[in-house]
Amino acid sequence: HGDQTESYPYNDPGQLPVMPVRDQNGEWLRVMIDFPGGSLWLRAWEARVGRVKLYLLDSNDPINSPPDRGITSELYGGGPEMRLQQEIVLGIGGWRLLDAMGIKSDVCHLNEGHAALAVIERARSFMLSERQPFKVAVAATRAGNVFTTHTPVEAGFDRFSPELVSRYLANYADQLGIGLDGLLALGRQDPANSQEPLNMAFLAMRGSGVVNGVSRLHGEVSQHIFQPLFPRWPQGEVPVTHITNGVHMPSWDSATADAAWTNACGKERWLNTMDAIKDNLKNVTDESLWQLRMEEAEQLIHYVRARLGRQLARASASVQLIKQSNQLLDSDILTMGFARRFTEYKRPNLLLHDPDRLSRILNHPERPVQLVIAGKAHPRDEEGKALIRAWWEYSLRPDVQNRVIFLSDYDMALAEQLVQGMGLWINTPRRPWEACGTSGMKVLVNGGLNLSERDGWWAEAYR
Ligand SMILES: *Cc1c(COP(=O)(O)O)cnc(C)c1O
């Protein structure tokens, strides 16, 4: 019925490609954090991603109390207390793990404010090893911290009430010699205001030598958001720069596109600046580009039909309906659509603004088009779920049934198929709320076109 339902299958680490992190004696390495009423123990798992090692902290250890075992079970679950627990695990536990493993990191990158407590723990570690006061330690380690902010709205920052922080971090702050108020001050707009909550983005900003947004426009928006921390500074001088997000091209190009670009520009084409491939790209003929597009479109249609068939079978659709999915869509007409999170600011329902007009566009007598759409809403985002329902209901209209497909269970594997075969990728965010966005980049490498708001990365790349 178009209702999104969630399930949370348990990820047994024993079934995942991860290994326990062990100490010199071969014992499972554990780091400890003081929690109210006892200790929290964390074990770590190592995943290898190419040449990169990824360490995952896990509180699901029988030594912990049952509620504490669930701290690392679910992202964005629970209330503010669970959230603070998770951020203590990530920031403080994360830095402790690196220390325990003897990993000496010069640069600590805080990807979003969630990990901001790493700034404090890093300074604490420096304070103990160098026998310096905490203030000196913060100043000395700050240059090695980099903070990337991701949200264009201040409400997107995590905040914790002084009472909650006090329960978890008052002793810790005393050990640092700054007391709870000294700790909270680092995350307050006005350090002297004892009513203010701890703002994790402010803490990350104060504790980092470099701060960046994720697109040029978002860098400017972030200067505005962080301006209160720099009273009387001109907005343009608030120290936030930007690094526009990118995607890993070899992961998102189709085999067909890879062959075409290899033919034109060689295997090493993504390794240097654009200068090396600019001229070679111009040698790609219109015919070969068209050929590439046709093959990719064909593959997408096969994929969509098969996947929709499975989706209908799961939903106990009639045999006849399942069979019909094999004839849906037409490889001779333009396929438009998108796959992304369904959330209000992205306005995934903007195309439904005038449903009758959309039907006329889809069924144009000479230039019909078809739509393939996929997406998921946050489990607690009822507004986002309603947007999915709206598309589902529209797709049942008799006049568009062969023209509109909504695919469920959106994930990276589905995204990969859609960005490879889509002719036109539609993006309708409310400017400037799309801090960067990246899905349209994945379409480009496959020769597809973007139709988008001049927001996020597109404001820089639309030419
Ligand atoms: C690329 C990608 C995104 C980002 O999509 P936007 O349209 O930029 O929001 C989100 N989810 C998945 C699975 C992706 O592959």
pLDDT, one tens digit per residue, over 43-82 is: 999 999 989 999 999 999 999 999 999 999 988 778 999 9
The pLDDT-based confidence of 172 (bands split at 50, 70, 90) is very high
Q: Compute, in angstroms, the gap from residue 112 CA to the centroid of ligand 1.
A: 17
Please report the pLDDT score of residue 1 as a whole number: 85
Residue 419 is classified by DSSP as H
Angstrom distance (rounded) from CA 211 to CA 76? 24
User: Whose C-alpha lies nearest to ligand 1, atom 10?
Assistant: 340
- Residues 6 or more apart whose CB falls under 8 angstroms from that of 408 comprise 4, 311, 374
CB of 113 closer than 6 A to ligand 1? Answer: no
CB of 438 closer than 6 A to ligand 1? Answer: yes
Mutation to probe ligand 1, out of 427, 433, 438 (largest number of atoms < 8 A from CB): 438
Instruction: Name the nearest CA neighbour of 101 among 77, 125, 84.
Output: 125
Please report the pLDDT score of residue 76 as a whole number: 76
38: pLDDT strictly greater than 80 = yes
Q: Is 319 exposed, middle or buried (0-12, 13-18, 19+ CB in 10 A)?
A: exposed
- pLDDT average, residue stretch 216-235: 97
Instruction: Name the nearest CA neighbour of 221 among 457, 433, 462.
Output: 433
266: pLDDT strictly greater than 80 = yes
Q: Compute, in angstroms, the gap from residue 445 CA to the centroid of ligand 1.
A: 15
Both structure tokens of 292: 């590439």
3-class secondary structure, 219 = helix
CB of 337 closer than 6 A to ligand 1? Answer: no
CB of 437 closer than 6 A to ligand 1? Answer: yes
- pLDDT average, residue stretch 203-225: 98
Please report the pLDDT score of residue 401 as a whole number: 85
Angstrom distance (rounded) from CA 106 to CA 171? 28
Angstrom distance (rounded) from CA 463 to CA 457? 11
User: Whose C-alpha lies nearest to ligand 1, atom 3?
Assistant: 439
Task: Kindly give the pairing relationship between strand 38-49 and strand 52-58.
Answer: antiparallel
Q: Compute, in angstroms, the gap from residue 379 CA to the centroid of ligand 1.
A: 17
* Ligand 1 atom closest to residue 247's alpha carbon, by position in its atom list: 1
CB of 245 closer than 6 A to ligand 1? Answer: no
Q: Name the residue with tokens 């249609």.
A: 301
Both structure tokens of 244: 């526009």
User: Whose C-alpha lies nearest to ligand 1, atom 2?
Assistant: 439
User: Whose C-alpha lies nearest to ligand 1, atom 13?
Assistant: 412
Residue 17 is classified by DSSP as S
Q: Compute, in angstroms, the gap from residue 194 CA to the centroid of ligand 1.
A: 40
Mutation to probe ligand 1, out of 245, 340, 409, 455 (largest number of atoms < 8 A from CB): 340
Please report the pLDDT score of residue 287 as a whole number: 95
Please report the pLDDT score of residue 275 as a whole number: 86
Please report the pLDDT score of residue 367 as a whole number: 96
Q: Compute, in angstroms, the gap from residue 60 CA to the centroid of ligand 1.
A: 30
CB of 439 closer than 6 A to ligand 1? Answer: yes
* Ligand 1 atom closest to residue 415's alpha carbon, by position in its atom list: 15
φ, ψ for residue 106 (rounded to 5)?
-75, -40
Q: Compute, in angstroms, the gap from residue 438 CA to the centroid of ligand 1.
A: 6
CB of 214 closer than 6 A to ligand 1? Answer: no
175-182: which pairs have CB atoms within 8 A and are 24 or more residues apart?
175/124, 176/120, 176/123, 176/124, 176/127, 176/134, 177/133, 177/134, 178/134, 178/135, 182/134
* Ligand 1 atom closest to residue 437's alpha carbon, by position in its atom list: 8
Q: What is the dihedral of CA 259, 262, 265, 270, to 10 degrees?
A: 110
Q: Compute, in angstroms, the gap from residue 301 CA to the centroid of ligand 1.
A: 21
pLDDT one-digit tens code per residue, 287-310: 999 999 999 999 999 999 999 999
Angstrom distance (rounded) from CA 67 to CA 79? 13
Q: Is 437 exposed, middle or buried (0-12, 13-18, 19+ CB in 10 A)?
A: buried
User: Whose C-alpha lies nearest to ligand 1, atom 12?
Assistant: 412
Please report the pLDDT score of residue 272 as a whole number: 83
* Number of helical (H) and strand (E) elements in the chain, helices listed first: 19, 15
CB of 412 closer than 6 A to ligand 1? Answer: yes
